[in-house]
């Protein structure tokens, strides 16, 4: 630990790909990886970097062809050591009224993009016998939530996908794990925080007594890139202020 209490990890010389790298949790992860010395390539619609060592490739993560083109562009120029599948969307409807097109949209971005990027960026890691892949799961990997059937389905699948791929790749030098954020104060959860009754219910169940910060998730991701996580494979790590243990 550093004097400030943050985890000290040296990622000098490493290159990381982070989806959704300029907002919310993704931005905090990017900042933490940059501070540890890594170069970070962001994959998202916007192309404005947040600082030195960070560059962005504009891509529609809902488009399989665009995802493939972005991967080819990355691999033509860089060796990717770390992949963080962070980008996600949440569309809310009571399930009986959930438009199937929107359900598919959530599954496409939250699951299918994770699958494709893990496969295509993971292959060179397997060839080298070294790499770290961290997927961002959710509390809804463990329970259902309300009016969020598509998001819960996608994040439950991310958790099981993480475990399954880890079973195949752990003995080949590539560690695949996931971080499951609890209730984090980001743009994705504005409606929940503004709902006085629901916000009170959530805070009442969090032993830590507060919503999470994006930096809390970034710290867990950084740990999973470190030597301290060398024996971690297929873990879905809750970072939730104690919510699941309540």
What percent of the chain has pLDDT above 90? 92
The pLDDT of residue 3:
41
- Which helix or strand (DSSP H or E) is residue 179 part of? strand 174-181
Name the CATH topology of 15-235: Rossmann fold (3.40.50)
- For 201-232, write each residue's pLDDT tens digit: 999 999 999 999 999 999 999 999 999 999 99
Residue 75 tokens read as: 């691999």
Contact status, residue 164 vs residue 207, Cβ threshold 8 Å: no
Q: Does residue 151 have an active-site annotation?
A: yes
The pLDDT of residue 2:
46
The pLDDT of residue 6:
60
The domain segmentation of the chain, as residue ranges, is 15-235
Nearest-Å Rg of the Cα atoms of the chain is 17
- For 18-71, write each residue's pLDDT tens digit: 999 999 999 999 999 999 999 999 999 999 999 999 999 999 999 999 999 999
Q: CA-to-CA distance for 215 and 105, rounded, in angstroms?
A: 28
Q: How confident is the model at residue 4 (pLDDT cuts 50, 70, 90)?
A: very low
The pLDDT of residue 187:
81
- For the entire predicted model, the pTM comes to 0.94
Phi, psi of 203 (to 5 degrees): -65, -35
């Amino acid at each position: 630990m550093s004097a400030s209490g943050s985890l000290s990890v040296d990622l000098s010389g490493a290159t990381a790909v982070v989806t959704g790298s300029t907002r919310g949790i993704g931005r905090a992860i990017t900042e933490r990886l940059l501070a540890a010395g890594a170069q970070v390539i962001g994959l998202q619609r916007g192309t404005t970097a947040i600082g030195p060592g960070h560059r962005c490739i504009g891509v529609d993560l809902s488009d399989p062809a665009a995802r493939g083109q972005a991967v080819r562009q990355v691999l033509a120029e860089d060796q990717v050591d770390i992949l963080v599948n962070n980008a996600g969307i949440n569309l809310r409807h009571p399930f009986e009224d959930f438009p199937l097109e929107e359900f598919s949209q959530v599954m496409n971005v939250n699951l299918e993009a994770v699958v494709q990027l893990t496969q295509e960026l993971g292959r060179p890691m397997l060839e080298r016998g070294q790499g770290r892949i961290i997927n961002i799961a959710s509390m809804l990997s463990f329970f259902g939530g309300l009016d969020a059937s598509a998001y819960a389905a996608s994040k439950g699948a991310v958790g099981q996908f993480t475990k399954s791929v880890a079973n195949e790749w752990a003995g080949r030098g590539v560690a695949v794990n996931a971080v499951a954020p609890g209730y984090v104060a980001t743009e994705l959860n504005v409606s929940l925080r503004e709902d006085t009754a629901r916000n009170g219910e959530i805070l009442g169940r969090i032993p830590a007594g507060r919503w999470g910060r994006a930096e809390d998730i970034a710290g867990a991701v950084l740990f999973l890139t470190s030597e301290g996580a060398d024996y971690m494979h297929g873990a879905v790590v809750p970072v939730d202020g104690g919510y699941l243990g309540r």
